[in-house]
Amino acid sequence: MIPKTSLRGNILTPGGWGLGSIHFAEKILEIEGTVADPADNNAPYILPGFIDLHVHGGAGRDVMQGDDAMEVIAQLHARHGTTSLLATTMTAPMAELESALVGVAAEMASRSKGTARVLGVHLEGPYINPEKLGAQPNFVQTGSLEAIQKLHAIADIRVVTLAPEIQGHLQLVAGLAALGLRVQLGHTLGSYEEALAAIDLGASGFTHLYNAMSRLDHRAPGMVGAALAHAEFAEIIPDLQHVHPGAIMTALRAIPKLYCVTDSTAASGMPDGDYLLGRQVVHKCMGGVRLKDGTLAGSTLTMDQALRNLVSIGLEIDDAVRRVATFPADYLGLPERGRLALGAYADVVVMSRDLQLLEVFVEGEKIDLHL
């Protein structure tokens, strides 16, 4: 049983800010208070827990390692305010994907103490363009509905990243959308027109916008142009290394529900050095993660830092919170997460006035931030 907890502060609800108290066990039981501007008091911020839909690793472990790696990863991210996440795979042979998903499924079946809730899998490849690998190893293959259904039977796949220009992939988009999976366009050299064809067939997002996709040109708008012109949702990495703040601001004006992901690796929460990203060896230095040739290879970002980065480039706190919590929940169709509302899961983050984490609760369980 989760004990009842009560917190007092500036509570961000779907209706705006209120100064008062929130009471919860596993789910939110009561919110009481009055409308108030946080600028008029010194109380802490009480926010919905963050949701990260693109997590490769953390605390020295990688999703592709299987076994208990997912527990370690989910624990690291919970200590940074992420209350739920998608375990994200790397492009790999099918046997390795199956092994990794067995480990993910075990953590999904029974959330370990002190961890973020693993909502499912983001299958990032192997159905991508071999000419736009980014940091992915070249185990690219043409996608098939049967292969994805086989993986889906091991662990719940919520998001699939693919390149729509690969022969047969437009039909795959339609098949996956019919199953209720979110299809994202990424690691792609696809044209603007190919992106629109995929959207018409059910594609609903873009993977790490700007990165590993055909760029915007005024005569060839590419994948970036399609996203800016037509997307309702897209993910972006706000570590201020993958994307310039000006490009983030451009996307914010164009895409109504642009949301943030970390694309975090095993190097997150770890000292500088070498780590695994799938089969790739990556090096962490100066806050970034790169392959030997200098290619950015995921990040060391955590969602609390993502929030601070958004505020640092000019977003109001409530807008930034929507992009690290509410919009990812909306994208997956999860009305009981990503917001502080009666009956929603008690995924709660308490932050100081300078946006440092004070407390984190996952489904009402208080997370030890100092393990």
Positions marked active-site: 263
Output the six-digit token pair for 88: 């994200």
Comparing CA positions, the residue from 11, 50, 52, 5 lying closest to residue 26 is: 5
CA atoms within 13 A on the CB side of 188: 31
Please give the single-letter amino acid code of residue 234.
A
Report d(CA 133, CA 238) in Å as an integer. Answer: 20
Q: Please tell me the distance from the alpha carbon of residue 126 to that of residue 51, in angstroms, as a whole number.
A: 24
SS3 annotation, the chain: CCCCEEEEEEEEECCEEEEEEEEECCEEEEEEEEECCHHHCCCCEEEECEEEEEECEECCEEHHHCCCHHHHHHHHHHCCCEEEEEEECCCCCHHHHHHHHHHHHHHHHCCCCCCCEEEEEEEECCCCCCCCCCCCCCCCCCCCHHHHHHHHCCCCEEEEEECCCCCCHHHHHHHHHHCCCEEEECCECCCHHHHHHHHHCCCCEECCCCCCECCCCCCCCHHHHHHHHHCCEEEECCCCCCCCHHHHHHHHHHCCEEEECCCECCCCCCCCEEEEECCEEEEEECCEEECCCCCEEEECCCHHHHHHHHHHCCCCHHHHHHHHHHHHHHHHCCCCCCCCCCCCECCEEEECCCCCEEEEEECCEECCCCC
Q: Answer for the pair 61, 365: CB distance below 8 angstroms, yes or no.
A: no
Residue 306 backbone phi and psi in degrees, to 5? -60, -45
